[in-house]
């Protein structure tokens, strides 16, 4: 085999290997979260994220899963389907509506009695991919929400109870 032929074969194999390279996971950056609802049943949050796809081809967010922890208490997981398209080299806004039942609202109010702001943490992952290959991309957001939000929910959860301040 001549050197030119070897070079051509090497080039062909290299092109094939690069063409089949595994895609890079997109970057998911949570920016903020807004309270969308507080009831006796639970808490609603809208999480604002930006997703950037650095690949040379489009990807799709297929599913999003988010676990909410409030004041160290696990409020469960929200699972959402998605069809968000991620064009190449573009920042794409992604809003996620999280709904979490309280589970133990009186306990949460009790352990946060001396805190004006209640810490929460969102641990999420987005299933992203194309036709043949998918990957779960993790993201995390830590912040606080005002205690008055919890107190309003506690008041509405107990009939006849005056509003707490």
Core vs surface per residue 46-79: b (16+ CB within 10 A) or e: ebebebebebeeebbbeebbbbbbbbebebeebe
What's the pTM value of the predicted model, to 2 decimals?
A: 0.76
3-157 has which CATH code? 2.60.40.1820
Pairwise pLDDT comparison (108 vs 28), residue with the higher score: 28
pLDDT at 43 over 50: yes
Q: What is the C-alpha to C-alpha distance for residues 27 and 24, in angstroms, rounded to an integer?
A: 9
Compute how many other C-beta atoms are within 10 angstroms of the C-beta atom of residue 122.
Answer: 23
Counting Cβ atoms within 10 Å, is residue 142 exposed (0-12), middle (13-18) or buried (19+)?
exposed
Query: What's the pLDDT tens digit per position in 21-35?
Result: 667 899 999 999 999
Q: DSSP characters for 94-137?
A: EEEEEEEE-SSHHHHHHHTTT-SEEEEEEEEEEEEE-SS-EEEE
Which percentage of the chain shows pLDDT scores above 90?
Answer: 54
Comparing CA positions, the residue from 163, 144, 143 lying closest to residue 154 is 163
Q: What is the C-alpha to C-alpha distance for residues 104 and 117, in angstroms, rounded to an integer?
A: 18
Q: Categorize the per-residue pLDDT at 155 as very low, low, confident or very high, splitting at 50, 70 and 90.
A: low
Compute how many other C-beta atoms are within 10 angstroms of the C-beta atom of residue 16.
Answer: 9
pLDDT at 20 over 60: no
Mean pLDDT of the chain: 83
Give the pLDDT mean for 62-79.
94
């Amino acid at each position: 085999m001549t050197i030119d032929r070897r070079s051509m074969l090497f080039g062909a194999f290299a092109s094939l290997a690069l063409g089949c390279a595994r895609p890079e996971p997109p970057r998911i950056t949570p920016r903020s979260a807004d309270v969308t609802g507080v009831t006796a049943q639970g808490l609603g949050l809208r999480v604002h994220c930006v997703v950037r796809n650095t690949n040379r081809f489009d990807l799709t967010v297929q599913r999003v899963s988010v676990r909410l922890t409030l004041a160290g208490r696990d409020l469960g997981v929200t699972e959402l389907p998605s069809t968000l398209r991620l064009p190449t080299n573009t920042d794409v806004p992604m809003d996620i509506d999280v709904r979490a039942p309280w589970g133990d609202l009186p306990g949460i109010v009790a352990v946060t009695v001396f805190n004006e702001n209640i810490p929460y943490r969102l641990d999420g992952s987005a299933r992203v991919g194309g036709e043949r290959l998918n990957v779960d991309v993790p993201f995390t957001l830590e912040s606080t929400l005002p205690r008055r939000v919890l107190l309003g929910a506690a008041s509405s959860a107990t009939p006849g109870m005056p509003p707490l301040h």
